[in-house]
């Protein structure tokens, strides 16, 4: 169930959902995460760490999804 939820967040947006920021959960999260209590935004150094964690989250979700669907694709995805 955790992977199903994670993959629904990582999976690209469909055309019908549009391109508004509110359509993407990660853009909404980053916008809120970027605000500090004093109304300013976090520094680039802090944002880099957050984006780095997301990068590895996306990689892991993609690898797990590829492993789950490898049987459905001729020749497989992962050797």
Task: Write out pLDDT tens, residues 31-74.
Answer: 888 898 898 999 999 889 988 988 898 888 888 888 887 777 77
For residues 40 and 8, which has the higher predicted lDDT (pLDDT)? 40
Burial 32-59 (b: 16+ CB within 10 A, else e): eeeeeeeeeeeeeeeeeeeeeeeeeeee
**CA distances in angstroms from 73 to 3, 47, 64, 70, 77, listed in the order given:** 20, 37, 15, 6, 7
Give the C-alpha separation, 1 to 42, whole Å: 33
pLDDT score recorded for residue 48: 92
pLDDT score recorded for residue 67: 80
């Amino acid at each position: 169930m955790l992977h199903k939820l994670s993959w629904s967040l990582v999976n690209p947006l469909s055309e019908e959902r549009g391109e508004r920021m509110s359509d993407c959960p990660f853009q909404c999260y980053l916008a809120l995460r970027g605000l500090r209590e004093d109304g300013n935004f976090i520094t680039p150094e802090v944002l880099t760490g957050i984006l780095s964690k997301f990068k590895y989250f996306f990689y892991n979700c993609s690898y797990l999804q590829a492993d789950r669907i490898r049987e459905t694709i001729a020749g497989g995805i992962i050797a």
